[in-house]
Amino acid sequence: MKKFLSLVACAAMFFAFTGCGEDDDDTDAGQPTLTWTANPTFSTTEITPTMSVVITANVPNGIKGVSIKIESPAQGFITALNAIISVEANKSTTTPVLDLINDPTVVAALKLYGVPTGTDLKDKTSVTMDLSNMIPMVLGLNPEANTTHTFTLTLTDNKGHVFTKAVSFHYTGSTDKAS
């Protein structure tokens, strides 16, 4: 269970700060920006024991809401996620949604792992997170080979702009798993 919650924490931390941009057709100067130096295009990323995942998000209008929809072929992962979601409508056997600000159970569970949630996100305008040691923890869950795990972030700022970004992590099946 500790490995599972660590994975949830790392996923939440990563995706809480990687979702701005897909709906950026609005020219408002207050649009959020996102930087991941090691993967500037946020392309599908292979999970490895050593990877650079340092994300900086700038949200000039402040964060109002953050949710993460998770799509994964790992049914045990989905089941465990549903166990920490208190909002019944967000539970799903295929795509649960984590509300990082308004779901008290999700907020409490992820805070235990240092994930910014609740007031640590609400109204914040800039956040830098180094998740380089956390994302590889998924390898400790022994995922099936050749699987892709997609996390779709929906971020709403205080001016009502909604931004959505799907980010995928792939596991090829290397025997070099983190422990």
Q: What phi-psi label fits residue 173: left (phi over 0), alpha (psi between -120 and 50 degrees) or beta?
A: left
The ranges assigned to domains in the chain are 2-171
Six-digit token string for 48: 């490895």
| Three-state secondary structure call for residue 78 | helix
Give residues with Cβ within 8 angstroms of 133, minimum separation 6: none
How many CA atoms are closer than 13 Å to the CA of 134, on its beta-carbon side? 23
CA dihedral 71, 151, 68, 97 (to 10 degrees): 0
pTM of the model: 0.77
Mean pLDDT, range 142-165, rounded to an integer? 85
Six-digit token string for 109: 């569970």
pLDDT (tens digit per residue) in 64-109: 998 889 888 877 778 888 888 988 888 888 889 999 999 999 999 8
